[in-house]
Structure 1
Amino acid sequence: MTTTHIDVGAIDFDALGAWMDGEGLPAGPITSAAPVLGGTQNVMVRFERGGRPYILRRPPLHARAKSNEVLRREARVLAALRDTSVPAPRLVAAQTAEEPVFYLMEPVDGFNPSTGLPEPHASDPAIRHRMGLEAAAALAELGRVDPAVLPGFGRPDGFLERQVPRWLKELDSYGELDGYPGPDIPGLEETAGWLSRHVPRSFTPGIMHGDYHFGNLMFACDGPRVAAIVDWEMSTIGDPLLDLGWMVAMWPSGNAHVPGLAQPKELVAYYAALSERDLSAVDWYAVMACFKLGIVLEGTHARAFAGKAPKDIGDLLHATTLGLFDRAREFMGGALD
């Protein structure tokens, strides 16, 4: 069945086919178009043409203010990583000169564990444990890429020093929302002060994913290997150890999704064995991650007071914020030592 006139995100498949012809990609009718579920920020559609499968990624029909710029950045990062050992979706071609921006990538042969575990993963505790270590290994691989492949991408100078003021300013901005009484977050000032006093003196700039957690990883169907790190919307040039802190801070606990994963201390040790980066301040990066994510989630709580988000969601995320600041205190106390 051809899909030239099927409304899959209102994509103009005739125009897409003509553009693909101009890129020298295999010709023929576009077939088997279907939405790829799992993300909400952008549209993803899988289709086939000329005997080859593709994933199209483009902004939603009613694009957000920065949707096109975000996809330009994603396409640029994926192009830079294409010839590296970093497990990332393989970029095929990108249209970034006009809007809507879109790009084509090869489908990833893998699964996301948040939707359930296939075999052999479901039955093999050794594979599940190793999945955690492979997540750390994939991140270490990203940290080894020379950031010179992305000139002018991000602002690494003063990157760490900007973090606490940047997120406190974000928190202050919530006061502009009607009805929000201000943050009731025990430990907020203590955490901000600790972070400010313990900023690492120096770091080696590198490519950051910006949102490195279990939900943004796809694993190989036949074992524990990371098949692809996905959703590069937040990527920049900064301190890659913030990705490590983010992974540790958001690591699933208990039996969430994947029972028997390697624990945070093991992740840090495995990363350290694969990296030349100085991990002596790893606690700082984990605390910073809790601080940032807690403030981001508090934004929905504030919007709920103003009637711009459901109250139950706002309350749930506020509780999550309080849990993150509790976790920050654990990291300040040397939980990763």
Structure 2
Amino acid sequence: MIDTERLADWMDGTGLPGKGEPIEARFLSGGTQNEIYEITRGAERCVIRIPPAAAPPDRDKGILREWRIIEALDETDVPHTTAIAACEDTSVLGRAFYLMGFVDGWSPMEHKRWTEPFTSDLTLRPQLGYQLAEGIALLSKVDWRARGLDGLGRPDGFHERQVSRWTGFFERIKGRELDGMDVATRWLEDNRPIDFIPGLMHGDYQFANVMFRDGAPARLAAIVDWEMGTVGDPKLDLAWMVQGWPEDTSSEKASESSYVDLRGMPSRDQMVQHYAEVSGRQVDDLDYYLVLAKWKLAIVLEQGFQRAGDDHKLQAFGAIVPELMRSAADLAESTDYRS
């Protein structure tokens, strides 16, 4: 739990509003990497994001890296939480932390379903999808150098490092062979983009990591959870968003392909086209990014499966991972950029 007296002293010293008022902290969410609390002080309300006491020491650097991103997004068109203040001094609360604006709205991940009126009226759902695509398109347009994000990532050699980094990671966690991995890996090595326009990336862009305003029409309120944020190739974010998107969003299967019901959503092609229109980026080579997204996600989920123990949620990845890797290999084998 947050030491509200120490937090109040720090806020007073920083010159934030509410000096002398008591603080109330309400736990919102969190796990092994970060904890999030709503902070109320008089008429003021904000959110604190802080690693738990048991998190690895490098999470302090990670939290300050997140702060760099949300601070840089101020005065841009990207929906985001307002940057309020950050603290590097771990003597205040035991870990580095930052304060961000409270977002009035809802998270698809929190509810694992749509809120009304999107639950009952499928005709309102397409805008949820278009808003999701628009958020990441606007992010890709941010002038990251002008916003002070030099050094956040290393765009030079981005795709070369993706393959070498994640194959090395897989070897460290390997507990079984994955059908199609060799095929997909070779294809990625042979078909890297010759060139790309570097941009700001989220790294795990999906419905789970955005918030919407209440009511219709759908309006994206904020992109959240920036642990994987970097400067790289934004089209990987696009592929990550749509790699599991159902082909037919009018069928019952669309209600089973995600943690939320995707019936009534735009088609994958419509999502990609909207991204292209807003971002100004060409998407003719999207298949490369889809193979990379499926391949990388399979490796990420395999780590969870190998460490599952008695965790039934992580155990479920055992069946998902081979299907995902096989899907990456099948797409790679059906796509030939070099012929």
1:189-229 deviation line (CA, Å, top 9, x unaligned): 11111111111101111111011111111111123121111
CA distance in 2, matches of 1:30, 1:46: 14
Alignment pair present for 1:77 and 2:52: no
Partner of 2:169: 170
Query: Which of residues 119, 124, 140 in structure 2 aligns to 1:122?
Result: 119
1:226 maps onto 2:220 in alignment: yes
Describe the shift of the 1:251–1:28 C-alpha distance in structure 2 as closer, same or farther (beyond 3 A). farther
Aligned partner of 1:288 in structure 2 is 292
Equivalent AA in structure 2 for residue 273 of structure 1: E
Unaligned runs of at least 5 residues, structure 2: 247-252
Q: Does the CA contact (< 8 Å) of 1:213 and 1:251 recur in 2?
A: no
**In the alignment, which residue of structure 2 is the partner of 1:273?**
277
Q: 1:12 aligns with which of 3, 8, 16?
A: 3
TM-score by length of 2: 0.87
Kindly report which structure 2 residues correspond to 1:174-213, keeping only aligned pairs within 5 A, or say none.
174-175=173-174, 180=175, 183-213=176-206
**How many percent identity over aligned positions?**
39
Conserved? CA contact 1:290–1:327, under 8 Å: yes
* 2:63 is equivalent to residue 59 of structure 1: no
Distance verdict in 2 for CA 1:44–1:313, change over 3 Å: closer
CA deviation map 1:64-101 (0-9, x unaligned): 23211110101111100011111111111111244611
- C-alpha change, 1:312 and 1:49, in structure 2 (3 Å) is closer
Q: TM-score, normalised by structure 1?
A: 0.88
Query: Deviation per CA, 1:298-331, whole angstroms, max 9, x where unpaired?
Result: 1233335xxxx33755542121111212332454
Report SS of the residue matched to 2:29. Answer: coil
2:60 counterpart of 1:68: yes
Cα gap change, 1:274 to 1:60, in 2 (>3 Å): same
Q: Deviations over 1:138-180 (max 9, x none)?
A: 10000000120201111111001111111111111124xxxx3
- What residue in structure 1 maps to residue 129 of structure 2? 132
SS at match of 1:134: helix
Q: Deviations over 1:28-78 (max 9, x none)?
A: 323442100365521111121131111111110212232111101011111
Q: Whole-Å Cα distance in 2 between the matches of residues 331 and 248 of structure 1?
A: 14
Determine the C-alpha separation between the residues in 2 that align with 1:189 and 1:86: 38
- The answer to whether the 8 Å contact 1:31/1:47 transfers is yes
Please tell me whether residue 43 in structure 1 is matched to residue 45 in structure 2: no
* Cα 1:20–1:31 shift into 2, 3 Å: closer
Q: Does 1:103 align with 2:98?
A: yes
Q: Is residue 28–residue 50 contact of structure 1 (8 Å, CA) maintained in 2?
A: no
In structure 1, distance between residues paired with 2:11 and 2:315 = 47
Provide the aligned length of Structure 1 versus Structure 2: 315
Q: What's the C-alpha RMSD, in Å, of the aligned pairs?
A: 1.9
Gaps of 5+ in 1: 1-8
Instruction: Call closer, same or farther: CA 1:113–1:313 in 2, change over 3 Å.
Output: closer
Q: Does 1:298 align with 2:291?
A: no
In structure 1, the partner of 2:326 is 326
- Structure 1 residue ranges (4+ consecutive) displaced by more than 6 angstroms after TM superposition: none
Range that drifts further, 251-260 or 186-195: 251-260
Distance 2:3 2:272 in 1: 46
Which residue does the alignment assign to 1:260? Answer: 264
CA distance in 1, matches of 2:161, 2:194: 13
More displaced, 275-284 or 187-196? 275-284
